[in-house]
């Protein structure tokens, strides 16, 4: 029996504690006496762990069944998040625990994309992967909302512990969702990274555009709650109240990423991957260029624009994730996903730190978000070379066969 549809809840649960840091930035800065760039490093340590891990874990899925990798990594991520509020006492200990959680996430997200893509019919593959990737955005948005809800009564440590405990449910669900999956039909690869995959022009363009998307997305993901909190603080709220309410409003904005990835995946099934991705890149980039300057605008205008921003900045995620499964040569999909994840999530390491640096230099929220949009647009433009070129889709039968090991 194919239970690949359960991989979405596994991913969402694994991400449930992921935005405790983003939601608690003002409180962490006060407690640990750190500046904005250092707070950015605590957030980015999660991505550092992810980037280090993908170079090893994703090529393994060319030989080892992805389901096994997912189950082991779901346990590692959940345990790391539970330990975070117990062991994080300063910048470095917090970054170390976030790093360990990121190591595990790498073995959940992209192997899940591989399984879902293999199970979907070609004409609906973008939408199917979009539904899975939507769980990423849903988990991240609920993390912001739930942290904001729990902060006033439990503090950031209590909120982190509660959400980490709930995320443990991902482990048995991961085992259940991957049991019965057959080996990947294009498996049998070398199980080690093949950097030569970047010599393939379409793959390289997709990787570059995904990197720009990731940069823009993680400036937003890392600093959106703090930006909204700063607007509320300017209206007279204390630090805890501003952080709590800012996280909940930011969760609403980020939550629009969930229908956004559905939209992007559906659009790419009809317009083509490159055309749909470039359209969303330009629209989200335009939002980034203006969003940070809107702090003094009427509250309803800020919220509406923020929701539109959340929708657009997410919409091309599923497109790149789907395209790489179609563009990669047989037997090297793991390496192609690893390279894309390495550069994409490598950008997410620097993006929140660079935005924090801009804030420390007094350049303001407008400059921080505008930098995100400029990078996203610049790296997305090479997609124009792929418009009108349909990739040769791999003939992939459904991945679920009852009786096979996960």
What's this model's pTM, rounded to 2 decimal places? 0.75
Query: Which residues are within 8 A (CB) of 368 and not within 5 positions of it... i.e. 6 or more apart?
Result: 219, 223, 292, 355, 356, 358, 359
Q: What is the pLDDT of residues 173-189, one digit of tens each?
A: 888 876 665 544 444 45
Separation in Å, CA 128 to CA 163, 247, 263, 311: 28, 29, 11, 18
Farthest CA pair distance, the chain? 61
pLDDT at 322: 85
Residue 391 lies in a domain: no
Number of folded domains in the chain? 1
Residue 394 lies in a domain: no
Which ranges of 4-124 does DSSP label H, i.e. alpha helix? 7-15, 20-23, 25-32, 36-60, 66-87, 91-105, 109-119
Q: Which domain holds residue 64?
A: 4-178+192-386
Q: What is the pLDDT of residues 61-106, one digit of tens each?
A: 666 777 778 888 888 999 999 999 999 999 899 999 999 999 888 8
> In CATH, what number is assigned to the domain containing residue 149?
1.20.1250.20
* Residue 181 dihedral angles phi and psi, to the nearest 5°: -85, 135
Mean pLDDT of 370-388: 85
Cα–chain-centroid distance for residue 33? 28
Residue 85 lies in a domain: yes
Mean pLDDT of 353-371: 91
Residue 395 lies in a domain: no
Residue 132 lies in a domain: yes
Across 193-197, 214-218, 262-266, 325-329, least confident range: 193-197
Average confidence score pLDDT of the chain: 83
SS (H, E, C) 369-380: HHHHHHHHHHHH
CA-based nearest residue to 58, from 116, 112, 8, 16:
112
């Amino acid at each position: 029996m194919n239970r690949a549809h359960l991989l979405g809840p596994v991913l969402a649960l694994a991400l449930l504690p992921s935005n405790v840091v983003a939601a608690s930035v003002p409180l962490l800065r006060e407690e640990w006496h750190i500046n904005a760039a250092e707070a950015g490093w605590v957030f980015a340590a999660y991505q550092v762990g992810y980037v280090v891990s993908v170079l090893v874990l994703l090529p393994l899925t060319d030989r080892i069944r992805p389901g096994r990798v997912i189950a082991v990594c779901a346990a590692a991520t959940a345990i790391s998040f539970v330990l975070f509020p117990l062991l994080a006492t300063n910048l470095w200990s917090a970054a170390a625990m976030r790093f360990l959680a990121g190591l595990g996430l790498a073995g959940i997200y992209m192997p899940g994309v591989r399984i879902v893509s293999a199970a979907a019919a070609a004409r609906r593959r973008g939408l199917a992967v979009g539904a899975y990737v939507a769980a990423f955005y849903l988990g991240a948005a609920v993390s912001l909302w739930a942290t904001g809800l729990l902060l006033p009564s439990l503090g950031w440590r209590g909120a982190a512990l509660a959400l980490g405990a709930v995320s443990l449910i991902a482990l048995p669900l991961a085992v259940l969702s991957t049991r019965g999956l057959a080996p990947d039909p294009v498996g049998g690869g070398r199980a080690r990274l093949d950097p030569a995959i970047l010599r393939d022009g379409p793959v390289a363009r997709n990787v570059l555009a995904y990197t720009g998307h990731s940069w823009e997305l993680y400036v937003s993901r890392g600093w959106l709650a703090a930006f909204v909190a700063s607007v509320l603080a300017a209206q007279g709220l204390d630090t805890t109240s501003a952080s709590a309410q800012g996280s909940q409003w930011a969760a609403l904005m980020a939550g629009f990423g969930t229908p956004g990835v559905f939209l992007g995946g559906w659009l790419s099934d009809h317009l083509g991957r490159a055309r749909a991705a470039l359209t969303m890149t330009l629209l989200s980039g335009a939002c980034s260029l203006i969003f940070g300057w809107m702090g003094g605008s009427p509250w309803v205008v800020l919220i509406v624009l923020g929701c539109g921003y959340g929708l657009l900045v997410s919409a091309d995620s599923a497109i790149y994730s789907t395209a790489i499964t179609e563009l990669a040569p047989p037997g090297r999909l793991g390496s192609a996903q690893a390279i894309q994840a390495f550069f994409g999530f490598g950008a997410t390491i620097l993006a929140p730190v660079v935005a924090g640096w801009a804030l420390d230099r007094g350049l303001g929220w407008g400059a921080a978000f505008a930098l995100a949009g400029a990078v996203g647009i610049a790296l997305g433009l090479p997609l124009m070379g792929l418009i009108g070129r349909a990739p040769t889709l791999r003939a992939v039968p459904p991945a679920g066969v009852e009786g096979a090991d996960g």
